[in-house]
């Protein structure tokens, strides 16, 4: 079941995110984050504009997806949102990421969003496949902007109109 996140979900949201940090190339963070570090991030996601969605299975968070502002404070860009999504390591390849992204796409017009885009590391092949599957297209590439222990990795911008 997909639902809006509550503050009670933050511990599991952070845990899932930190799995991605450990895995490398699923996020540009190099160090685990804490719940305390993510509280303001959580509160910055007004559910009526920039929600965080949870994939809940039997009372356990299996994955999450957020819509975040693009260049906050610039009124002409309020209809554009960055989409991010993470799935627990033990729940990957079960359609959870696809379900979360599709849900965000379906909800976007109700939220006043007309453009969604994801920023991916070029080594994140699973996310590239997911973006392609969900109708996103490669809109841009920033070469070698991320460094992982000396390895330079490009950022890919995948976008779609909704």
Q: How many Å apart are CA 110 and CA 107, to the nearest integer?
A: 6
**How many Å apart are CA 86 and CA 21, to the nearest integer?**
11
> For position 58, what pLDDT does the model report?
87
Residues of the chain with pLDDT under 70: none
pLDDT digit string, tens, across residues 104-132: 999 999 999 999 999 999 999 999 999 99
Q: How far apart are CA 34 and CA 111, in angstroms?
A: 29
Q: Residue 115 has which token pair? A: 């453009």
What phi, psi does 115 have (nearest 5°)?
-135, 130
DSSP 102-144: HHHHHHTGGGT--EEEEEEETT-HHHHHHHHHTT-EEEEEEEE
3 state SS of 73: coil
**What pLDDT score was predicted for residue 144?**
97
Residue 100: name the closest of 54, 138, 41 by CA: 54
- Domains of the chain (ranges; CATH) run 2-161 (3.40.630.30)
């Amino acid at each position: 079941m997909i639902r809006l996140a509550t503050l009670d979900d933050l511990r599991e949201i952070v845990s899932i995110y930190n799995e991605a940090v450990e895995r490398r190339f699923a996020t540009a963070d190099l160090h685990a984050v804490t719940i305390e570090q993510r509280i303001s991030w959580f509160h910055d996601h007004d559910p009526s504009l920039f929600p965080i969605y949870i994939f809940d299975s039997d009372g356990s968070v299996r994955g999450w997806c957020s819509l975040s502002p693009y260049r906050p404070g610039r009124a002409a860009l309020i209809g554009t949102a960055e989409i991010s999504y993470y799935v627990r390591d033990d729940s990957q390849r079960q359609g959870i990421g696809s379900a979360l992204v599709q849900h965000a796409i379906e909800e976007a017009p109700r939220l006043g969003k007309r453009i969604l885009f994801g920023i991916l590391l070029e080594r994140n092949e699973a996310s590239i496949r997911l973006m392609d599957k969900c109708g996103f297209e490669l809109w841009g590439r920033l070469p070698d902007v991320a460094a992982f222990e000396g390895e330079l990795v490009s950022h890919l911008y995948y976008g779609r109109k909704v």
